[in-house]
Structure 1
Amino acid sequence: MKLFYKPGACSMAAHLLLNEAGASYSLEKVDTDAGLTETGAAYADTNPRGYVPALEFASGDVLTENVAILHWLGEQHPELSSDSTGRPLDRFRTLELLSFLSSELHKGFSPYFSGKTFSEDQARENRKKLDAKLGQFDALLNKGGDYLLGDTFSVADAYAFVILNWSNFIGVSLDAWPGTKAYLERIATRPATRKTLEEEGLAA
């Protein structure tokens, strides 16, 4: 498998999971602004929509869209998509969490990476919306356990880590949500996370 990625982008979630699973894979960095991969190939030939991630298989098939790739990885590695108790609803809880992360929490950070200039009122509104989504996420952690599905690290945690880690790039403090802050720090210490950050050139 080959993962097309951009350092620090949402593609890091799949990268992190590949390391968690000990999977065999290669990486190809993408300059999404230029539309080129690090080998000089036109990325549109892999993903016509131009954004990461994309996962290419030995067959030549390509899977795109973050939620689809993360769900596929969870299906291949069931230990990453269910709690250790094996609750029947876990597979759908994972989809529920991925949907929230993609459509709500991820979206809350989007204005900060849009390249747009906002008025003071717009900036306050953006922050208000982001704070609301962070509060909703924090509430998910109050169900017990170290991770979103309890005591088992899952595909949803990989995606949540990547999104929440963006707070470090935009100067947003998580102090108002101590549970979320501790959760982010906890995942940052995992060996697979450290390896992923190093491979993407983002290790402190």
Structure 2
Amino acid sequence: MKLYYLSGACSLSPHIVANEAGIPITLDKVDRATKVTASGEDYMEVNPKGYVPALRLDDGEVLTEGAVIVQYLADLKPESGLAPPHGTLARYRLQEILTYINSELHKSYSPLFNPATPDETRAERTAYLTRRYAYIEAILGKQSYLLGEHFTVADAYLFTVTQWAARVGLDLGPFPALAQYQRRIAERPAVQDAMRAEGLLK
């Protein structure tokens, strides 16, 4: 399988999950400006949506959307415990928190990366993210991971998007449980291997 990625983008999440599950993947970096991959592919033909991640399966099929890709990878190795079994309430809880991260956190960062975003909008998005992180802080104040005491694909996703806070100047100081969580996940070997492969660690 091949994972199309941008360094430090949301594609880091499935990269971490593949490492955690012990699933071998080939990496193909996408050039943000040209949309040409390191292997020479036109990424717009791979994924007409134009953004990462995309996962090309061994049969040539392409999956997109990070929250879907991480569940697919976890289901390839159910013994990893990275996602609860289908049909259980725990699986719906996983999808619930993945959806929250995607809609309330991930997409709220987008305007903060755009230098053309007006200061008023930037302030509104920053305040919005702070409120949404307060919900996450309440969860992590009671347990080690989003779904309890076991690392899942949701933690790979939250870790990835929360890494962006420093890049956009979002102050996470009010959230000590979140800060401890980020440090703990950053120490996982699978996470370090993914970040090193993407040039995010020396």
TM range (shorter): over 0.9
Counterpart of 1:175 (choices 170, 173, 176) is 173
Alignment of 1:53-64 (within 5 A): 53-64=53-64
Shift of 1:188: 0.4
Give the letter aligned to residue 32 of structure 1.
Answer: R
Gaps of 5+ in 2: none
What RMSD over aligned residues (CA atoms) do the two structures have, in Å?
A: 1.7
Identity %: 40
TM-score (norm 1): 0.91
Shift of 1:103: 0.6
Alignment of 1:86-165 (within 5 A): 88-119=88-119, 121-142=120-141, 144-165=142-163
Counting matched residue pairs gives 199
Contact 1:10-1:159 at 8 Å conserved across structures: yes
Contact 1:12-1:162 at 8 Å conserved across structures: yes
Provide the C-alpha distance between the structure 2 equivalents of 1:164 and 1:122, rounded to a whole number of angstroms.
20
Contact 1:82-1:152 at 8 Å conserved across structures: no
Provide the C-alpha distance between the structure 1 equivalents of 2:107 and 2:57, rounded to a whole number of angstroms.
29
Gaps of 5+ in 1: none
TM-score (norm 2): 0.92
Give the letter aligned to residue 199 of structure 2.
Answer: G
Contact 1:82-1:149 at 8 Å conserved across structures: no
Shift of 1:95: 0.5
The superposition leaves residues 35-69 of structure 1 with CA deviations (integer Å, 9 ceiling, x where unpaired) of 11012221111101111000001111111111111
Contact 1:2-1:28 at 8 Å conserved across structures: yes
Alignment of 1:11-50 (within 5 A): 11-50=11-50
